[in-house]
């Protein structure tokens, strides 16, 4: 499929500091160039991190009251380094590496280790891509893209990238992809918005940040942030995406984070399918005697869904078949089992996820 990449400044004009070594005329001409290329930019494969709205290495802290849609995870730091979340602030599961986490959290060290491994793979994938389109202007904007409208593509910045002064618009279709390679920090000023136009989706936007990302107060940001160090959302910031920090902390203050759920792709008739593999918490939980398990597949996959006890012994195989992309639901009837804690494990291709459930009779 062919598509165009266009970059242009809005009425506010071009700051002198953005001109770099280019003359004003050459700079503006480069911004107005359109690039047409045949290959589609593939999205970054997030693996098991697609389940998470927040994933960090050293700390996850919240100043109430926030709203997080998606799972929250911390590894290798202890669960006690997750703080500030009320019982209703996370629509998802809080996963910890040990049993010191907040009330209601689930200890799943192995799953978190796998997720952090997938995060490193995704980070290195985004960092190693070759910029499309090619063009001198891609790294001569003095690290400032506020006020621009950017078409789909891969953009490289060798220092800190800032979005200040004016809103940033990303314009493209629901299947177009943006990847921003940022060698140092990502800084979004207070009240700045990232606006999506033409059907563009947060699920297809990736920000690879070489050090740390900061979203200013009341800012509205789109896409998955893959930071080597830390990510912070100032008071009232909104992130339609994911905050994934490899080494350090994710900190939020009365913020809203919503992990992307679905994208349109050309599978049969352009249907709505998940943008990544995910396994949802069973419902109801606790349950007696049956519960529903939901999971999502972005592509057709060989799927195995099993039930195990606390000792890891396999008790039941609910699914062992090839299934099409989409959302799937299956019921587990535990009428013949005693009260206690059980685990369900989804294996779909290279993706694996385990969750805990409680049977009370």
Specify whether 199 is located in the same domain as 213.
Answer: yes
Specify whether 13 is located in the same domain as 135.
Answer: yes
Specify whether 64 is located in the same domain as 191.
Answer: yes
Per-residue pLDDT for the chain (361 aa), expressed as one digit of tens each?
A: 333 333 333 322 333 333 333 333 333 333 333 333 324 678 898 888 888 999 999 999 999 999 998 899 999 999 999 999 988 898 888 999 999 999 989 999 988 998 999 999 999 999 998 765 554 445 555 689 999 999 898 888 989 999 999 999 999 988 889 999 999 999 999 999 999 999 898 989 999 999 999 999 999 999 999 999 999 999 999 999 999 999 999 999 999 999 886 444 447 444 445 667 888 888 888 899 999 898 888 888 999 999 999 888 999 999 999 998 877 889 999 999 999 999 999 998 878 888 899 999 9
305 contacts 345 by C-beta, under 8 angstroms: yes
Task: Give me the residues paired with residue 242 across strands.
Answer: 224
143 contacts 156 by C-beta, under 8 angstroms: no
Specify whether 151 is located in the same domain as 271.
Answer: yes
Please, what is the Cα angle at 196 between 195 and 197, to 5 degrees? 120
* Domain of residue 162, residue span: 1-276
297 contacts 276 by C-beta, under 8 angstroms: no
Specify whether 247 is located in the same domain as 297.
Answer: no
Specify whether 231 is located in the same domain as 152.
Answer: yes
Specify whether 247 is located in the same domain as 139.
Answer: yes
Question: Whole-model pTM?
Answer: 0.67
Specify whether 48 is located in the same domain as 155.
Answer: yes
What is the domain count for the chain? 2
CATH number, residue 297: 2.60.40.1930
Query: How is the beta sheet containing 290-297 ordered, strand by strand?
Result: 278-279, 290-297, 326-333
Give the integer Cα–Cα distance in Å for 212 and 202.
20
Nearest CA-CA partner of 119 in 277, 225, 194, 13: 225
Specify whether 283 is located in the same domain as 212.
Answer: no
Specify whether 262 is located in the same domain as 352.
Answer: no
Specify whether 37 is located in the same domain as 140.
Answer: yes
Specify whether 74 is located in the same domain as 200.
Answer: yes
Last residue of some domain: 276, 297, 318?
276
Last residue of some domain: 224, 247, 276?
276
Last residue of some domain: 223, 245, 276?
276
Phi-psi region of 218 (alpha: psi -120 to 50; beta: other; left: phi over 0): left
């Amino acid at each position: 499929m062919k598509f165009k990449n266009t970059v242009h400044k809005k009425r506010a004009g071009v700051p002198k500091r953005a001109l770099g070594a280019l003359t004003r005329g050459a700079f503006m001409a480069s911004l107005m160039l359109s690039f047409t290329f045949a290959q589609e930019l593939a999205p970054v494969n997030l693996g098991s991190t697609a389940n998470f709205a927040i994933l960090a290495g050293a700390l996850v802290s919240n100043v109430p009251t926030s709203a997080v849609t998606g799972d929250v995870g911390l590894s290798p730091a202890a669960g006690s380094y997750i703080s500030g979340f009320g019982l209703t602030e996370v629509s998802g599961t809080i996963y910890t590496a040990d049993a010191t986490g907040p009330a209601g959290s689930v200890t799943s060290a192995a799953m978190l280790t796998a997720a952090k491994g997938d995060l490193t793979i995704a980070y290195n994938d985004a960092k190693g891509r070759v910029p499309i389109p090619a063009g001198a202007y891609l790294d001569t904007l003095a690290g400032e893209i506020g006020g621009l409208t950017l078409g789909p593509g891969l953009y490289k910045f060798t220092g800190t990238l800032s979005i200040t002064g004016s809103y940033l618009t990303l314009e493209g279709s629901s299947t177009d992809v943006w990847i921003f390679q940022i060698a140092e920090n990502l800084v979004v000023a207070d009240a700045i918005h990232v606006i999506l136009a033409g059907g563009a989706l947060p699920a297809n936007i990736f920000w690879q940040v070489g050090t740390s990302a900061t979203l200013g107060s009341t800012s509205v940001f789109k896409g998955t942030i893959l930071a080597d160090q830390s990510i912070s959302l100032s008071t009232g910031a909104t992130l339609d995406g994911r905050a994934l920090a490899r080494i350090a902390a994710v900190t939020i203050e009365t913020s809203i984070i919503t992990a992307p759920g679905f994208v349109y792709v050309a599978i049969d008739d352009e249907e709505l399918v998940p943008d990544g593999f995910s396994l949802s918490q069973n419902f109801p939980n606790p349950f007696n005697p049956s519960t529903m398990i939901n999971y999502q597949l972005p592509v057709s996959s060989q799927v195995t869904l099993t039930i195990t006890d606390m000792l890891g012994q396999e008790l039941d195989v609910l699914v062992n078949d090839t299934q099409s992309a989409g959302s799937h639901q299956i019921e587990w009837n535990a009428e013949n089992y005693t009260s206690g804690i059980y685990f369900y494990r989804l294996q779909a291709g290279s993706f694996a996820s385990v969750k805990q459930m409680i049977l009370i009779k």
